[in-house]
Structures are given as structure tokens and as C-alpha cells.
Structure 1
Amino acid sequence: MLIKEWMSRTVITIDSDESLNDALKLFRVRVISMLPVLKEGKLVGIVTHGDVKKASPSGATTLDRHEIAALMDTVLIESVMSSPVITIRADHMIDEAAGLMLAEGISGMPVVDKKGKIKGVITKSDIFRCFVSFTGVSNKGQVFAFNLPDKSGSIKDLTDKIRNSGGRVCSIMTSYEDSEKGFRKGFFYTLDIDSDKFDNLVEELRKADELLYVADLSKGFRKIF
């Protein structure tokens, strides 16, 4: 899950000496949430749609439309941009980008090469696309959540049972978050389990394992145990 495989390669930028009005026009005509700011070709800041809204005159102003536009033409991007810029390299992992965004409270960032040149942009939407593709949830399969013993073979036992029911394992995710010592949470995303075999598999898994949650997305069926 390298960033270079999921980032947007077409990057729309703005120069630091352009105006707030110029940025607003770009946000109106382009489906973007942020603009990297350049000065003499070098990345010096970032401005988001939220920054532009915050710096724009309030809706309660007595100024007319032309006066507002004229005022916004006098405000330079460099006065409202965020700097220094939080960036990441294209050879880093998607989960590294997600962790950095979460820690910094940002929704996206420029992707740069070793020389600091912009190669793309990675946003939370790109991370959502990556997550959905790996879970296979868009294929309307089945989901099984377990409280797994943290020991060798626990995952294989479950995948064998799923395959014996005619299912295909699309992806497996595990986490120690909020798990008691000696256990971990396991999330199995599967495809192609027939309806009659699904019910029998659920019953088998309930008896033999600590099944927490099950869903058949093709039917809209969900159950928490």
C-alpha cells in the first residue's frame, strides 16, 4: 500500500503572491480541498478551502459583491497559508500517511520526492479508497469479527472453515487495540459464501470461536453477539 499507488498525481497549485480571490475561483471550479502554495517554484505553504472561507468577509458584511471581490483581491495567499508544510514521500505507506494526518489533524498533504519537489497529493479520500479496496466491502460480501487468541494457527483455523464453506477470503485485518492480554481482534472479509452455507458457518464459528460480529452485506444482514 505505497502512497504512490493511491495519491492524486495531478496537482493544482497557487503562487504565494496570488490573491484570496484567485484561490476561491480555483476551489469553485476544481474538485479539491487544498492548494499547495509555491514561491519561485518551491513549496512554501498550503491553503485549504477552510482557510479561504475563514479569511473571506462574513456573510453579514454590508459590502456588495464587487466590493467583496475587490477586497479579496488585496489579500495575498502568503498571508493566510499554513507554513511550514507537512509532507510525505511517495515511497512511504498509506498507513503512515493516515497516522500522520490523524496526529496533525489534517485532511491531506503534498507528496514530495527527495529534493522536495511535489509529485502528488494524498488526501483522506484517497485513504478511504484504499481501505475500501482492501476490505472488499464494495463487493457486498461477508464480514466476520472475532476475539482471537494471540497464538500461532488461530487465523489458519478460521480461514480453513471459511474455505470449507465455499468462501474466498478477500482480506484479513487484526488489531491489538482494546483487546485484553493474550487476545487480538480479527476481521475477515469474505466472498462467495452461499446463503445456506452462511448460516451453518456462523453457527459453527459461534461454537468454536469467540465470534463478535457477523454481516452478510449482500442481504443487509448484521448481528452482534
Structure 2
Amino acid sequence: MFVKDYMSTSPITIPVDTPVLEALNTMRKRKIHQLPVMNRGKLAGLITELELLTVTPSPASTLSVFEMNYLLSKMTVKDVLVKEPVTVEPSCTIEEAALKMREHGIRCLLVVEDDQLKGIITQTDVFDALIRIFGLHKAGVRLVLEMENKVGALADVLQVVKEYGLNVLGVACREKEDNTVQVMLRLRAAGVDDLINDLTARGIRVLYSN
């Protein structure tokens, strides 16, 4: 799963001389929280809703309406944009993109290749990708197994599943500190009672089935 498969390839952009209030109105109208900022066809930075709300006066401001309007009319996104936003290439994996967002505490990544803006990927896009990876959008049965963390453990489980002629829609693994591993399987099946009994007989604990 790569960023290029889930990014928005035609993100809404604004020029650097866009007034702050206009940028904020664009976000609210389009129901988005960030906008790439361009300068003569090149990426100049990123502006987010949070930055814009930070520079706009609060209702508790002592400024008059005329003073506020005057100040805001003079302020453009160039004054508050993030000049060096975190970027990734289209070939970046979804998990790497998620890690970058988590490490930097941000909600989106600009996708850049050869110094050209190719798209934008947001937290929502990453969630959509994970839903597809785990096969959650497809009907099936979800199993959570626990077994010894050893070479070939997952292969052994998948071999058993294959023997029952079941298609695997999604797989996820989580290592634990007690030398065990938990495996989530999503299978295209209506019932898996026989499979569960077989796995249990082989020493594989079935923690959850639905």
C-alpha cells in the first residue's frame, strides 16, 4: 500500500498573496483543514486551519471591528504559512506516512516528486487505507489468535486456513513481550467453527471470533 494509491491527486491550492480570511473561508466551504500554498507554480508551503485561527482575533479582543478588518485585510497566508512542511514521495508506504504524521504531530503530508506537488494525503486517507488493508469493508469473519513467536508461525496458521479453502482478506500481527504474537485474520467465510477447533488442537489460542 503506497501513498500514491490513496492521496488526493488534485489538492486545492492557494497563492501566497491570498488574504487570511479568504483562505479560512475556502477551508470551511470545502470542509478541509489545510491548503498547500503556491508561488508562481512552485510549492511555497502549507497553511492549516489551526494557524489561521491562531492569527484571527478572538471574540474577547479589545480591537474594534474596523481595526480587526483592517489588520486582517493586510495579512496574507505568506505571513503565517509553514515554509518547510513535512513531505513524502508517492512511493512512500502508508505505514511510513502514518509514522511521519505521528512523529511530527500533523494531520497531513504533502506529496512531492521532483520538486513538484503531486498531491496531499491526510489522516482520513490513511485510515481508509488501513480499513482496506484489514479487509474491514468486506463481509467475513474476524479471528484473533495467539501463538508462540517463532519462525514460520504465521505460515503454519495460513496453511491450516488454506486447507479449509478459505480466502484471507486481511492480516495484522502484534508481538508481545512474553515471546508470543497475536495475529488478526479476516477471512471470507460464513462459519469457522471447524477451523477454530483445528487451530486450538494445534496449540493456537483463539482469543476472539466474530
Write out per-residue CA displacement over residues 51-105 of structure 1, whole angstroms, 9 at most, x where no aligned residue.
Answer: 1122211133466777655442222212221221211111221111111111111
User: In percent, how many aligned pairs have the same letter?
Assistant: 26
Are residue 185 (structure 1) and residue 185 (structure 2) matched? no
* Unaligned stretches of 5+ residues in structure 1: 217-225
User: Unaligned regions of 5+ residues in structure 2, if any?
Assistant: none
Matching residue of 1:161: 160
Alpha-carbon distance between aligned partners in 2 of 1:13 and 1:89, rounded to the nearest angstrom: 18
Question: Is the Cα contact below 8 Å between 1:44 and 1:85 reproduced in 2?
Answer: no
Q: What letter matches 1:12 in structure 2?
A: I
User: Take 1:167 and 1:185, find their aligned partners in 2: how far apart are those partners?
Assistant: 20
* CA separation of 1:65 and 1:30: change in aligned 2, threshold 3 A: farther
**1:41 aligned partner:** 41
Q: How many residues align?
A: 210
Q: Which residue of 2 aligns with 1:82?
A: 82
Corresponding position of 1:26: 26
The CA distance in 1 between the partners of 2:49 and 2:77, in whole Å, is: 12
The answer on whether the counterparts of 2:19 and 2:75 sit within 8 Å (CA) in structure 1 is: yes
Correspondences of 1:1-225 after superposition (within 5 Å): 1-61=1-61, 68-114=68-114, 116-165=115-164, 167-176=166-175, 178-181=176-179, 183-194=180-191, 198-211=192-205, 213-216=207-210
Give, in whole Å, the separation in 2 of the partners of 1:91 and 1:157.
32
- 8 Å Cα contact 2:8-2:119 kept in structure 1: yes
Q: Secondary structure at the match of 1:102?
A: helix
Deviation at residue 7 of structure 1 after TM alignment: 0.6
Q: Does the CA-based 8 Å contact 1:13-1:36 persist in structure 2?
A: yes
Cα–Cα, structure 1 residues 45 and 98, in superposed 2: closer, same or farther, change >3 Å? same
Q: Distance in 2 between matches of 1:69 and 1:174?
A: 55
TM-score relative to the length of structure 1: 0.81
- Cα distance change of structure 1 residues 209 and 19 upon mapping to structure 2, 3 Å threshold: farther
Shift of 1:180: 2.9
> For residues 158 and 85 of structure 2, what CA distance do their matches in structure 1 show?
44
Return the alpha-carbon distance in structure 2 between the equivalents of residues 67 and 27 of structure 1: 24
Tell me by how many angstroms 1:123 deviates: 1.0
Shift of 1:24: 0.9
Q: Tell me how far apart the structure 2 counterparts of residues 137 and 63 of structure 1 sit (CA, whole Å).
A: 52
Q: 3-state DSSP class of the match of 2:132?
A: helix
Contact 2:196 2:206 in 1 (8 A): no
Q: Distance in 2 between matches of 1:48 and 1:74?
A: 19
Question: How far off its partner does 1:136 sit?
Answer: 0.9
- The residue aligned with 1:221 is none
Say whether the 8 Å CA contact 1:167–1:191 is kept in structure 2.
yes
- Which secondary structure does the structure 2 equivalent of 1:47 belong to? strand
Which residue identity is paired with 2:13? T
